[in-house]
Amino acid sequence: MHSNVEQILKKIKNEVGHSSDFFSRILTLGNKKILYCFFESVSSDDKISNFFMKGITSDIRYQEDTFVEDLFFHLKNTIINSKLTLIEKPEDIYYYLSCGFTCIFVEGYQKIIAIETKAILDRSVSESSSEAIIRGPKDSFTENYMVNLGLVRKRIKDKQLRMDEIKLGKRTQTKIAVSYIKDIANLDHVKMILKKLNSIDIDGVIDSSYLSEFLSPNQHSSFPKLISTERPDLVCQSLLNGKICIMVENTPYVLILPALLVDFLHSPEDNYQKPSNVSFTRILRMTAFLITLLTPAIYIAVTTFNQEMIPDRLLISLAIQRESVPFPTAFEVLILMIIFEMLRESDIRIPKITGTAISVVGALVLGDAAVNAGIISPIVVIIIAITSICGLLFTDVDFVNSLRFWRIFFVFCATIMGIVGIVAGGIIFITKLASLECMGTPYLAPLSPFNIKANKDAIIRVPRNKLKTRSIFLTQKNNTRLGVKHHEN
Amino acid sequence: MKTKLLLLCCITFLLCGCWNYNELNQIAIVTALGIDSDEESNTYKVSAMISNAHSTQSNTKEGQSQTVIIEGKGHTISEALNDIDLQSPKQIYLSSLNVIIFSEDVAKNGVNKIADFLMREPESRKKFYLLVTQDEKASDVLQILSPLEALPSQNIASNIIEATNYQAMIADINYSDFIRTLIEPGKQPILSSIKISGDKKDGSKYNSLEQSKPVASIKLSNLAIFKEDVLQGFADKTESEGINLISNETKRITIEAKCDNDYMVAELNHPNNTITVSLNDNEPTVKMTLTSKGNITEMGCNLDLRDPKTIDDITKRFEKNTADIMNAGIKMAQKKYKSDILGIGRKFQKSYPKYFQEHQKNWDDEIFSKLKIQVSVDLDLETKGSLEQSIRKEES
């Protein structure tokens, strides 16, 4: 690095390719030339002028040989609410500049002072849009990394809460925090995750989902092995259960590991409602899980192979409804399923203003006109409607998509073999699920392997005063959730 | 390895093909069969009621159906059904069968052949009702439409289910019950019979439904008495009630009794009859004890119902009349048809298997018909309904 500030400036300008948001100025302080520069786009004008008013312009004496150190300490003493660092390696300045720091070069010195003058580019904490609940905290994670950490830290004020930070992405230099509670979580798992993350050599990490593909490498299974959530309360519940959370800079979605099948049937709200109601809702979700998985397949099976399973009156009614439909039942079901998926996809992507048009087309054209035109029978519309409504009970996108995959699989089985096919498909499905594991935890735990204690908060939830221990599938140490104090009362 | 196994599983599905694949609009759902015999050509005439015909009336709602009856002829039931299949554009589908109606002629020639066919048929559900027509052709009965039920076959089936709850003369006997009594020794089968009341011809027209008073309707009637698989004849109303009381098929029965110049009526709820058999020196005796709780439902006479003595007296009269009904049934079975429809033989088979085995061959004709059967009735009239007295007494 040159010691001449003009040359330094020229070099930096070349390196950043004369970016339009690069700002620099050369001042003279005493007899020294000082260069300061920052990216306007990520820096706050207020903070910079504030720091100049308080710092550089004030009148102090500098020793010739420790000019930079003196200036640094002076700034450190005057600007208390901002981060200050001395940069030794010149190539680091680009990272700091991108982070919103202002870098100060002093003529004739190698060391560079960096002062944080970050502009707030993030939205404020708002209500979760993808995981709405009725009762419970309303905040959700944002794109701001520190805010996200803060949302967790303010809920768990434990010194054992760890947030191990690493940087990933050669170009994005994204900060990633692996968060866990040290005396609850399985440290082998933490080590494993850190090792896996450190071994990733990728150019950029834009969203937390980039990591999820590396963290659950067995992609043959379509079921997700990690939860991604934007609810801080769910993250904190998981941390207390001994799970490990991964927070990624610029992502409102936090990853939670390990994730089991029952986790996707739960909602953070389950912890805020009466246990009996929660148990009912969970059984409802379990039923919906089966309905959304099997209804189209069972419909095809009973109407094309095993008609004797349908009550007489219903059978006659179904037969008359199908009278004018020219397609095979399986084709009819498949077409409507695909159309529904397209409708769902378009509903997500479409701007809100044109949204009503889509629902009119969807409801009228599919629901009514297609039936009247004799392309599909009304019962198939009902079947697909039930299937999709039950599918909407689950919030995790990956989980919903895996349900879709298996639903089509079951339809395929039913089309070929009827009820026998569904049974055979069911065997494959359960075998597949049972063979999955997430970081050594069986995916179907605590249902299989069955554990009565862990089952207190799986399909049903017992009252909190009976919920004394954490699930042994997640953590073996420090298992007590409910202390002795409670029993004395 | 895992993937290979999974693939293997998938291939097994493909190899199975689409066995038993039937689209719903390719089947003709038969909900009722009527079986008549043609004396001249010695063939069966089978009428199949197909219920998923599309309604021709434009103003009917989606899902409403019209029934079509197709007749086929053949020396065997299979041949007749094949004949029907030839006339139908859709495949004949028998799983949803509700009712099978035999004409009297068919039943008198024995129903074994038909029963055998239906038992072998893997598709059939074995829970449908069997009925015998009295004086009518089975095909005519099928044609009668009812404004109360959309499907004529359902009309018959629900009529039976409803009637067994409230009518003493109807027995709720489905196909598998019938077959069981037919196969097992010691009891002879019975069936309910069915009649048409009103005009048969107009009753089969859809526009007859537009009248508030049905032109014709089907009516469940007395029991048909079988010996083995052959119809012997029909019981009358009292005899039917007696048979059902003895075999505990009755859930509710109303008994009339005379008092002074008028009648009083009691209703017995869930009467329970126990049959005890004994054998003394090869002399079989049978005792029947019917116990029941009941209440007075109609009182035509001027009696003081608050008096326990009167109640005792009334109870005795009802007990006698109940015993008379049972005796009528017994007499009919023993003397008229010589057919052990009461299941006495089965009791002996259980208690005295050797004795029964000795006499099994001529059980009905020689032993059963000469059995001495003692009947005793024990009633307990619990309530008098909402009135304490007869209404005339209450007034005064």
Q: What is the pLDDT of residues A55-78, one digit of tens each?
A: 666 566 666 677 777 777 777 777
For B276, the token pair is 């005890």
**CA pair distance A44, A40, nearest whole angstrom:** 7
Give the CB-side neighbour count of residue A364, counting CA atoms within 13 A: 6
B291 and B327 assigned to the same domain: yes
Which residue does chain B place closest to A323, by CA atoms? B25
Answer whether B21 touches A (CB < 8 Å).
yes
Q: Which residue out of A320, A416, A436 would a mutagenesis test of the B interface target, given it has the greatest number of B Cβ atoms within 10 Å?
A: A320
Q: What is the sign of the dihedral through the CA atoms of B40, B42, B43 and B45?
A: positive
| A375 alpha-carbon distance from chain centroid | 41
Query: In which residue ranges of chain B is pLDDT below 70?
Result: 9-19, 54-65, 384-385, 388-396
Q: Which helix (H) or strand (E) holds A85?
A: strand A84-87
Gap between the Cα atoms of A112 and A103, Å rounded: 7
Look at A329 and B9 and tell me if their CB atoms are within 8 Å.
no
The answer to whether residue B12 is domain-embedded is no
> How many residues can be counted in chain A?
489
A193 neighbors A215 (Cβ within 8 angstroms)? yes
CA gap A259, A443 in Å, rounded:
8
Structure tokens at B217: 């309707």
In terms of domains, do B163 and B297 share one?
Answer: no
Residues of chain A positioned with their CB less than 8 A from the CB of B31:
312, 316
Nearest to A318 by CA among B68, B63, B97, B31: B63
Instruction: Give bridge partners of residue A244 from the DSSP assignment.
Output: A257
- Judge: A319–B24 Cβ closer than 8 Å, yes or no: yes
| Positive or negative: CA dihedral B332, B338, B343, B344 | positive
Question: What parts of chain A have a pLDDT lower than 50?
Answer: 488-489
Give me the DSSP letters along B22-72: --GGGEEEEEEEEEEEETTTTEEEEEEEEEEEEP--TTSPTT-EEEEEEEE
Q: Which of B181, B210, B234 is the last residue of a domain?
A: B234
Instruction: Answer whether B24 touches A (CB < 8 Å).
Output: yes
Number of domains chain B contains? 2
Q: Which residues make beta-bridge pairs with B34?
A: B47, B101
Residues 6+ apart with CB under 8 A from B224: B107, B132, B134, B190, B191, B192, B193, B231, B233, B234, B235
- The shortest CB-CB distance from A319 to any of B9, B29, B55 is to B29
- pLDDT, tens only, A240-273: 989 999 999 999 999 998 888 999 999 888 989 9
- Whether B260 and B150 map to the same domain: the answer is no
Query: Of B187, B206, B234, which residue is a domain's last?
Result: B234
Task: Establish if B155 belongs to a structural domain.
Answer: yes
The answer to whether residue B8 neighbours chain A at the CB level (below 8 Å) is no
Touching check for B93 and chain A: CB below 8 Å? yes
Judge: A322–B98 Cβ closer than 8 Å, yes or no: no
Does B9 fall in a domain? no
CATH number of the domain where residue B261 is located: 3.30.300.210
Mutate which: A220, A307, A322, A422, vs B, most B CBs within 10 A = A307
**Residues forming a β-bridge with B262:** B259
Place of tokens 């002399």: B283
B62 in contact with A at a CB cutoff of 8 Å? Answer: yes
Q: Is residue B95 within 8 Å of residue B51, measured between CB atoms?
A: no
Residues of A in contact with B154 (CB under 8 A): 312-313
Cα Rg, chain B, nearest whole Å: 26
The answer to whether the CB atoms of A319 and B14 lie below 8 A apart is no
Report which of A73, A79, A51 is spatially closest to residue A61, judged by C-alpha positions: A73
> Residues in chain B, how many?
396
In chain A, which residues have their Cβ closer than 8 Å to the Cβ of B158? none
Interface of A with B (CB under 8 A): 303-305, 307-308, 312-313, 315-323, 325, 328-329, 378, 413, 416-418, 420-421, 424, 428, 435
| Domain carrying residue B97 | 26-234
Which residues of A107-201 form beta strands (DSSP E)? Answer: 112-116, 161-168, 174-181
Measured in whole angstroms, the distance separating CA B335 from the mean position of its chain's CA atoms is 23
Using CA atoms, how far apart are residues B346 and B324, in angstroms rounded to an integer? 24
Residue B282 CB partners (closer than 8 Å, separation 6+): B355
Report pLDDT for B155: 76
Residue of B24, B98, B149 to mutate when probing chain A, most A C-beta within 10 A: B24
Under 8 Å between Cβ of B33 and B98 = no
Q: Is B251 found in the same domain as B230?
A: no
**Under 8 Å between Cβ of B128 and B97:** yes
Residue B219 within any structural domain of the chain: yes
Q: What per-residue confidence (pLDDT) applies to B369?
A: 86
**Cα-Cα end-to-end distance for chain B:** 96
- Chain B closest-CA separation from residue A415 CA (Å): 8
For position A299, what pLDDT does the model report?
94
Contact B216, B203 (CB under 8 A): yes
**How far out from the chain centre does Cα B118 lie?**
18
Is B10 inside a domain boundary? no
Residues B224, B254 within the same domain: no
Give the separation between CA B352 and CA A453, rounded to whole angstroms.
58
B20 domain-assigned: no
Identify which of B205, B224, B226 has the alpha carbon closest to the alpha carbon of residue B216.
Answer: B205
Any idea which residue has 């919030």 for tokens?
A395
B223 and B264 co-located in one domain: no
Q: Show which of residues 111-130 on chain B sit within 8 Å of chain A, judged by CB atoms.
A: 123, 125
CB contacts of A320 in chain B (<8 Å) are 52, 54-55, 62-65
Structure tokens at A366: 């599919």
Residue B368 covered by a domain: yes
CB B289 within 8 A of CB B378: yes
Contact A399, A224 (CB under 8 A): yes
Q: Determine the pLDDT at residue B12.
A: 61
| C-alpha span between A414 and A421 (Å, rounded) | 5
Nearest chain A alpha carbon to B98: A312
Half-sphere exposure of A95 (CA within 13 A, CB side): 15
B203 alpha-carbon distance from chain centroid: 23
Question: How far does CA A320 lie from the centroid of its chain?
Answer: 48
Residues B233, B216 contacting (CB under 8 angstroms): no
Q: What is the dihedral of CA A44, A47, A49, A50, to 10 degrees?
A: 170
Residues B221 and B91 occupy one common structural domain: yes
**Same-domain check for residues B120 and B185:** yes
Which of B234, B264, B293 is the last residue before a domain boundary? B234
Contact B51 A329 (CB under 8 A): no
C-alpha distance from A185 to closest chain B C-alpha (Å):
33
Q: How far is B304 from chain A (nearest CA, A)?
A: 52
In the structure encoding, which two tokens stand for residue A205, read together? Answer: 């990490």
Residue A172 and residue A160 in contact, taking contact as beta carbons nearer than 8 Å: no
| A421 with B51: Cβ contact below 8 A | no
**Do the chains contact at A424 and B9, CB–CB below 8 Å?**
yes
DSSP code per residue over A286-342: HHHHHHHHHHHHHHHHHHHT-GGGS-HHHHHHHHHHHTT--S-HHHHHHHHHHHHHH
Best CA proximity match to A405, nearest among A219, A212, A230, A214:
A219
Instruction: Report how far residue A367's alpha carbon sits from residue A377's, in angstroms, rounded to the nearest whole number.
Output: 10
